[in-house]
Structure 1
């Protein structure tokens, strides 16, 4: 789990709930199951209607990445490439076969397999470059689905509030309950605006950042593997790849 994401969500919830409590409100006033059903269910439904099945499924998977998916260490990546380069210069390109079993990243595995198969640097760049761009574009579309949910949630919150007010106005025979009923109706608006601005939109932006970080990391690995295929000097490769560290 990513501690910063979890901490940020907890601080946001604490700020909203704590502010409400300090203002004299009761915590139970923020609990409204019908409002939660309208806002959360309606937001998911709107996103599902908007998106093809593949994009919607990808968006849900990306949510898991934001909370605890893989992070990319550029320094470790360069060290790994240098070890491969040294191994190839010492034992030949086929020595990389032993490295294939050590990695689970499909992008890196494809590159290693192409090196072992004796593919040229141009072939490696063309094949992995296409994969790199395709995966990036697909994931960015998934992130936009999450971002769009942040746009739908406030509107669903307003719908929930209006439905709550309709229910309240239908029970005018009990004027003593009007105040609490109206207050409860507006909880839906809090849910909608809250999950949009404290959860969905920030997470969508975080996922976009993670996608770009992964893109840069994989581009670095691509350049390194293409340079190995060309038989370049390890020091030259390392100097070229240092630019990705920034």
Structure 2
């Protein structure tokens, strides 16, 4: 579980609700027609811009990736790859048959290598999977970013509708203030939904995509080098470029130990 993502959403929503409750009460911020304009209107715009399958896939990926901390650390992958290279140098490719890893992309690469496929086929197959995975991340990010951009715009539309209705009732000055407050609520709903929920989730999906792209590139390059018989220590030094200075220091300390 990615606790920071969940904690950030909970703190953001709770802060807004608490600020409302302590000032004027939640009832004054409830407006069903305005809320429906924002929510239903945003959903309609999203379905116009994207396929239903893309929207469903985006929400599935958001809950499957943004709220779960399943990304492998580059240092762990490099250590696994070093072990793989040592095994291949000592036992050959078939020595990898019993190697167990939780990173699916690496496990798939090992499976193709053990099955005896040539390096060119393995590279082509894994590159295709690499591209498809990134495309799913990009689709989910586009959907969530689109929702985050559309919600404030629909809120503004709701506000304009409310203002028109208010101006049509100018014969009652006492109702201008309450009518203005109701009109502005739709903008509040749109900005809150976009800025607190969907745009941050889109940014988190982009970050997860970058992490996955880095890891897949690391594995794809490493498996080709392993199949070519590159020295494990040389490979480790090359892959150290993927690490932060702190992780690189831990890698050096482990090698010295």
Q: Normalising by structure 2, what TM-score?
A: 0.81
1:16: which partner in 2?
A: 16
**How many equivalent residue pairs?**
243
CA displacement at 1:76 relative to structure 2: 1.0
CA displacement at 1:121 relative to structure 2: 3.3
Structure 1 gap segments, 5+ residues each? none
1:109 aligns with 2:107: yes
On the 8 A contact 1:161/1:187 being kept in 2, the answer is yes
1:28 aligns with 2:27: yes
On the 8 A contact 1:157/1:193 being kept in 2, the answer is yes
Question: Following superposition of structure 1 onto structure 2, how do residues 147-158 of structure 1 map, counting pairs within 5 Å?
Answer: 147-158=145-156
Stretch moving more, 8-17 or 83-92: 8-17
2:132: which partner in 1?
A: 134
Question: How big is each residue's C-alpha offset from its partner over 1:100-151, in whole Å with a ceiling of 9 and x where there is no partner?
Answer: 6x5461x223211121023343333232123212321342133112111111
1:213: which partner in 2?
A: 211
2:243: which partner in 1?
A: 245
Stretch moving more, 151-160 or 171-180: 171-180
1:146: which partner in 2?
A: 144
2:232: which partner in 1?
A: 234
1:4: which partner in 2?
A: 4
Structure 2 vs 1, CA of residues 73 and 159 (structure 1 numbering), >3 Å: closer, same or farther?
A: same
2:250: which partner in 1?
A: none
Q: Normalising by structure 1, what TM-score?
A: 0.85
1:54: which partner in 2?
A: 53
Structure 2 vs 1, CA of residues 15 and 103 (structure 1 numbering), >3 Å: closer, same or farther?
A: closer
Question: Following superposition of structure 1 onto structure 2, how do residues 80-229 of structure 1 map, counting pairs within 5 Å?
Answer: 80-99=80-99, 102-103=101-102, 105=104, 107-165=105-163, 179-229=177-227
1:38: which partner in 2?
A: 37
* Partner secondary structure for residue 98 of structure 1: coil
Question: How big is each residue's C-alpha offset from its partner over 1:5-40, in whole Å with a ceiling of 9 and x where there is no partner?
Answer: 223223333443444456x32233223333332212
On the 8 A contact 1:58/1:139 being kept in 2, the answer is no
Give the Cα separation in 1 of the matches to 2:45 and 2:160: 18
CA displacement at 1:155 relative to structure 2: 1.7
Give the Cα separation in 2 of the matches to 1:212 and 1:128: 17
Give the Cα separation in 2 of the matches to 1:34 and 1:228: 62
* Partner secondary structure for residue 125 of structure 1: helix
On the 8 A contact 1:161/1:188 being kept in 2, the answer is yes
1:70: which partner in 2?
A: 70
Structure 2 gap segments, 5+ residues each? 245-257
Give the Cα separation in 2 of the matches to 1:112 and 1:2: 28
